[in-house]
Structure 1
Amino acid sequence: MAIQQGSTLRAGLISVNVTSAYAAADPETFQLRNGATLSQMDVKIAEAGNWQVDATKAAEAMQWFVRNTTFYGGLSAVGQVSYTTVLKDGSYYAAQVNNPSATARTFRVLGKTQATLPATNQSITLKEPDRFVVAGSGGKLRGGPLRVSNDSGELHFAQLVQVQPGTTDADITAWFAGGANPTLTGGAVLNFGTQTPGRAAVVDVTVPSGTYALLDYIPDTTSGMPHAFGGMHAVVTVA
């Protein structure tokens, strides 16, 4: 999918290719509902990101997102990466979600579809209470198609960050408790962007083999604190 302002796509399976020189580009696809605007979205993103100063306002901002947006994911990594999702008839935005008003492009999807995502033999499912459920051969992930599903009641994303071999989930808990940030390791990063509850996509895993922390930094709708700080993290092996 190459999005130009005013593009029109056919409803069904949509393959999205992203090329970037850095891992934090954060291009995502979304819809606004209930008369919500990009300007309002800018404000709510800032409020959610300011959770350390005002967690209550951050939680309220995330409640606004649940009510007024539908997110279909996105993908950030160095190089060329891709994912597949199903889009139905409607108007959409593609934007860098950390600066939507300045980067948004609109596009239309037309027609009817009964399309479903292709089957995969590995998956990451985002569940309630905040946790990741990882399924793969031998408990490991591998390069190739990976289904990422949000089966919770909140917005979530799934970020894979390469860490040192031998790292445990207890280590990640300790990092957060001590104020450290496990994303600052210098290793490979693959970030599958925000998905609304009930959404799923298939991501092409291209990161090198190794040990990865699986994290979600979207603030919680109740506490206002990023889900990872509340325990939504895991350690996975990419074989």
Structure 2
Amino acid sequence: MVARSKLYSFAFRVSIVAASAATALTLTGTVAVAAPRHRPTTVPVVMTLDEGFTLPQSVRAGWVTFEVSTPDVSGGFLHYLQGFRTLGAADPDVVVADLRAALSPDPATAAAGIAATARDADLVGGAAVDAATTVSVTLPLTAGTYYFFDLNDLFVPGQQAVLHKLRVVGGFIGHAPAADATIAMRTVAGAPRFVAPTRLPAGGTFRIVNASDEIHELATQKVVPGTTDVDIQRFFDSGTTTPFAEPSLRGAGAISPGRIVYLRIERLSAGPYAFMCFVPGKHSGVPHAIEGMHTVATMH
């Protein structure tokens, strides 16, 4: 979710990214998913620099698809829809302050901020978009009160993040989308990593599972053909030779451990892409991508 100083700013803006029907899904609790008789609720979200975005006051509990887009044109993440619900007695504004600290270029501040976020919030996901694509994310939302905002507001000096309250009501209904592949976020040999196929269908639906004990996101950016994980790590270590073939970064917002999100990116051209996570490590405060949480897959 966040690189440090120029690197974080580059990666995040890019110059700064199931349960099946009738089974039980473990989130921060256990959700009994109803039989597959209902399609996911769809919520269109158009994000703009001038007017922000709007959400309905409430939706039915179940699999909720947010179709996120923006008409704003610029390189990198223009908008980053992030959703959460509070834990314990935490105030939603405190969660925003936690996330602001997690974006700090100072590793100690970032580590404290992401630890506070994990304590105060259940991050349910969202979508990072630019004008070239529509990003759809399908989230399993149980009854309760959720908050959504544009995480990129935290990068604008003096910008106040505007929280949108969404009430989720009723019993959980519906079923998850069909997935073309699963991308897991795991701890491998003590380090955060993606476990993903090396070939994926462009425009496919990907089931993203946070099977680790840390908060993660999935940002994706097209890379130059022939780029390897070694090339990407060399870039993060030195910042000298960019492996990226385009300025835009898109993907799925941050999710807490145990969470699932289904991601679909429209109009994604074929070619090699890097999956990356810029959430800071809970101990190091260094973005996971810099610590090696990236992998290259070819969209075909």
Quote the offset at 1:185 in angstroms: 4.5
2:99 aligned counterpart, secondary structure? helix
Q: Which residue in 2 is equivalent to 1:11?
A: 61
After TM superposition, the structure 1 = structure 2 runs for residues 1-239 of structure 1, keeping only pairs within 5 Å, are 1-2=43-44, 4=54, 7-20=57-70, 21=72, 23-51=77-105, 53=106, 55-78=107-130, 79-99=133-153, 102-113=161-172, 115-128=174-187, 129-135=191-197, 139-142=198-201, 143-180=203-240, 185-206=245-266, 207-239=268-300
**Whole-Å separation in 2 of the counterparts to 1:5 and 1:120:** 26
User: Would the aligned equivalents of 2:143 and 2:169 in 1 still touch at CA under 8 Å?
Assistant: yes
Distance 1:38 1:77, change over 3 A: same
Deviation at 1:69, TM superposition (A): 0.6
What TM-score do the two structures reach when normalised by structure 2? 0.72
Deviation at 1:113, TM superposition (A): 1.4
What is the identity, as a one-letter code, of the residue corresponding to 2:83?
T
**Which stretch shifts more, 22-31 or 209-218?**
22-31
CA contact (8 A) 1:163 1:187 kept: no
Flag the 1:218–1:146 CA change in 2: closer, same or farther, 3 A. Answer: same
Cα distance in structure 2, aligned partners of 1:179 and 1:30: 33
Deviation at 1:183, TM superposition (A): 8.3
Distance 1:200 1:170, change over 3 A: same
TM-score (norm: length of structure 1): 0.89
Q: Provide the rounded CA distance (Å) in 2 between the counterparts of 1:98 and 1:36.
A: 22
Contact 2:179 2:206 in 1 (8 A): yes
Measured in 2, the distance between the counterparts of 1:185 and 1:179 equals 15
State the shift of 1:34 in Å: 2.1
Tell me the distance in 2 between the aligned counterparts of 1:208 and 1:6.
32
Describe the shift of the 1:127–1:24 C-alpha distance in structure 2 as closer, same or farther (beyond 3 A).
farther
Question: What one-letter code is carried by the residue in structure 2 that aligns with 1:18?
Answer: V
Letter in 1 for 2:275: L
In the alignment, residue 98 of structure 2 is paired with which amino acid?
K
CA contact (8 A) 1:169 1:235 kept: yes
Distance 1:204 1:6, change over 3 A: closer
| Equivalent residues, number | 234
Deviations 1:95-125 (A, max 9, x none): 1124375321101011111644233131211
CA-based RMSD: 2.2
Question: Which residue identity lines up with residue 89 of structure 2 in the other structure?
Answer: G
- Counterpart residue type for residue 215 of structure 1: M
Q: How many angstroms apart in 2 are the aligned matches of 1:182 and 1:214?
A: 15
CA contact (8 A) 1:217 1:227 kept: yes
Contact kept, 8 Å, 2:251 with 2:265, in 1: the verdict is no
**Is contact 1:156–1:195 with CA below 8 Å preserved after alignment?**
yes
5+ residue gaps, structure 1, are none
Change (3 A) 1:9 1:75: same
Cα 1:173/1:12, change in 2 over 3 Å? same
Distance 1:111 1:183 in 2: 47
1:3-43 Cα offsets, whole Å, 9 max, x none, are: 74671111111111111135330012211122222432333
Identical amino acids, percent of aligned pairs: 28
Q: Distance in 2 between matches of 1:131 and 1:80?
A: 26
